[in-house]
DNA sequence: GATAAGATGTTA
DNA sequence: AACATCTTATCA
């Protein structure tokens, strides 16, 4: 496997969100290495009321305006952390939220953004760090190519502001896609009930 | 299986 | 007061 180059994250945010599916997030903690295949993502853009960057660069969202490949970490509901990767050009204010991983070692449940950060011990100390260096203790490598017919594109999760956009991507049928997806759209892309 | 409530800290 | 969530409890 090879590490994803810096230039990958310079692309359009929706392209990055879609193409991150199937790639593998690595995290080293002491001598232990976690490996999780990305199975669900969401895109956040600067002119989107649901995006943290909507109100401009603040102390909280500073990392979201960093160079592409920067990590943006935030605390959600006072309890969990969420991991984002900055996209497009520096100072733009876009990012991809990593929503779910399939643990390639089958030891942990990372079927949700809060669960990923809990299992992989990703906290505010990772904010502003970069995802494109192999020397780091967090990086992404190429994984399996996901064919177009196995990618579902639909609305995001937990958004209460604005008109919601179909900016969530996940791998059809994957068992590690977050539970919220099951409740509002099903893992296979067909609704199980009306919300 | 589904649905509701509660936990918790920062600032949307 | 709201929030890019998760776990537990209580139905069925």
* Model confidence pLDDT, tens digit, residues A125-177: 999 999 988 789 999 999 999 999 999 999 898 877 666 789 999 999 999 99
**Distance in angstroms, CA of A31 to C1' of C4?**
32
Which residue, chain included where needed, has tokens 């102390």?
A59
Find which nucleotide's C1' atom is closest to A53's CA.
B12
Which residues, at least 6 apart from A36, have a Cβ–Cβ distance to it below 8 Å? A24, A25, A27, A101, A102, A103, A104, A110, A116, A120
Name the nucleotide nearest A115; use CA and C1'.
C6
Dist. CA A19–CA A145, nearest whole Å: 9
A156's CB contacts (< 8 A; 6+ apart) are A42, A50, A164, A165, A167, A168
| Three-class secondary structure of residue A183 per DSSP | helix
Query: How far is the C-alpha of A78 from the C-alpha of A183, rounded, in Å?
Result: 24
Residue A185 has pLDDT above 70, yes or no: no
Query: What average pLDDT does this structure show over A53-65?
Result: 97
Tell me, what DSSP letter sits at residue A3?
B
Q: What is the mean pLDDT of chain A?
A: 90
Residue A8 pLDDT = 98
Closest nucleotide to A80: CA versus each C1': C5
Q: What pLDDT sits at residue A180?
A: 65
pLDDT of residue A189: 38
CA of A183 to C1' of B6 (A): 20
Q: Does position A181 have pLDDT exceeding 60, yes or no?
A: no
CA distance A173 to A73: 28
Full-model pTM: 0.92
pLDDT of residue A187: 38
pLDDT range class, residue A1, cuts 50, 70, 90: low
Q: Indicate the helix (H) or strand (E) that contains A40.
A: strand A32-44
- Bridge partners of A175, per DSSP, are none
Q: How far is the CA of A105 from the C1' of C4 (A)?
A: 27
A61 touches strand B (CB under 7 A): yes
pLDDT digits (tens, 9 = 90+) for A74-105: 999 999 999 999 999 999 999 999 999 999 99
Is the pLDDT higher at A53 or at A185? Answer: A53
What was the pLDDT predicted at A161? 66
Residues A43/A167, Cβ–Cβ less than 8 Å: yes
């Amino acid at each position: 496997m090879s590490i994803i180059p810096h230039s990958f994250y310079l692309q359009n945010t929706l392209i990055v969100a879609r193409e991150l599916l199937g790639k593998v997030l690595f995290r080293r903690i002491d001598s232990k290495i976690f490996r999780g295949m990305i199975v669900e993502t969401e895109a956040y853009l600067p002119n989107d009321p649901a995006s943290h960057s909507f109100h401009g660069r603040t102390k909280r969202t500073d990392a979201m305006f960093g160079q592409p490949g920067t990590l943006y970490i935030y605390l959600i509901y006072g309890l969990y952390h969420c991991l984002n990767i900055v996209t497009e050009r520096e100072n733009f204010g876009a990012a991809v939220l990593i929503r779910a991983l399939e643990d390639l070692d089958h030891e942990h449940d990372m079927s949700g953004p809060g669960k990923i950060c809990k299992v992989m011990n990703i906290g505010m100390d990772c904010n502003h760090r970069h995802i494109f260096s192999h020397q780091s203790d967090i990086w992404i490598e190429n994984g399996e190519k996901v064919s177009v017919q196995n990618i579902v594109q639909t609305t995001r999760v937990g958004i209460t502001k604005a008109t919601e956009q179909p900016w969530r991507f996940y791998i059809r049928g994957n068992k590690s896609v977050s539970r919220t997806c099951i409740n509002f759209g099903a893992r296979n892309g067909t609704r199980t009930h009306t919300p």
